[in-house]
Amino acid sequence: MKYILILAVSYLLGSIPFGLLTARWWAKVDVREHGSGNIGMTNVLRTAGWFCALITLLGDMGKGVAAILLTRHFIGDETLTLISGIFAVVGHNWPVFLRFKGGKGVATIAGVLVAYEPRAAAILVAIWLVVLLIWRYISLASIVVAFCLPIVLAILQARFIEVVLAMVVAAFTIIRHRSNIERLRQGTEFRFGQKVS
């Protein structure tokens, strides 16, 4: 019963739409009506500016960190702790507060990794930055990092269950980016720093 409660709390934490709330309060903008319509950091950056994007990034990462730390404190089991982190990601992607239409989960996954396996987080952030600096597409950097996630964990000799769960998370993260993949293919994807017209 205690673990079911923790999973529910993790999901609800993940469902908090920091991007939507920050842009609405600070910039008086509903990010769902501009750019890609996504509530994540990338679209907030394009539509509401750097400050709102930074708060969104920290908030979305914080949801993943909080889920891991809460479960580790109250439950202790590392596999269940990781599953709680995944529930926070699910909450971000399919939030109950927004009729299950949320973001793509990259920042929340980063928060989970920072708290659960910081070595993997550091490696993946480095990969993300390299891809972003070379091609200037945040979506491409996120897709590459999602693909690399289970590979990096395997290299770091993570447990089999951790690699399998990472593969599941990577798969639905890439699927969530399918519209970005289509825009990348067509050459119409927004580049980093490009403003919404």
Q: How far is CA 107 from CA 54, 73, 155, 185, 188, in A?
A: 11, 22, 22, 24, 23
Share of the chain above pLDDT 90, in %: 91
161 is written with which tokens? 């269950």
Instruction: Give the pLDDT confidence score for residue 139 in this predicted structure.
Output: 95
Closest CA to 88 of 113, 109, 114: 109
| Rg (the chain; Cα; Å) | 16
CA dist., res. 29 & res. 13, Å (int): 23
CA dist., res. 17 & res. 28, Å (int): 15
Instruction: Tell me the per-residue pLDDT of 154-197, one tens digit each, with 9 for 90 and over.
Output: 999 999 999 999 999 999 999 999 999 999 999 999 888 766 55
Amino acid identity for residue 30 in this structure: D
Instruction: Tell me the per-residue pLDDT of 24-33, one tens digit each, with 9 for 90 and over.
Output: 999 999 999 9
86 is written with which tokens? 């995944």
Do residues 150 and 167 make contact, with C-beta atoms less than 8 angstroms apart? yes
Instruction: Give the pLDDT confidence score for residue 134 in this predicted structure.
Output: 96
> What's the CA angle centered on 102, arms 100 and 103, to 5 degrees?
155
- Under DSSP, the state recorded for 191 is P
Q: How many residues does the chain have?
A: 197
Closest CA to 64 of 22, 11, 137: 11
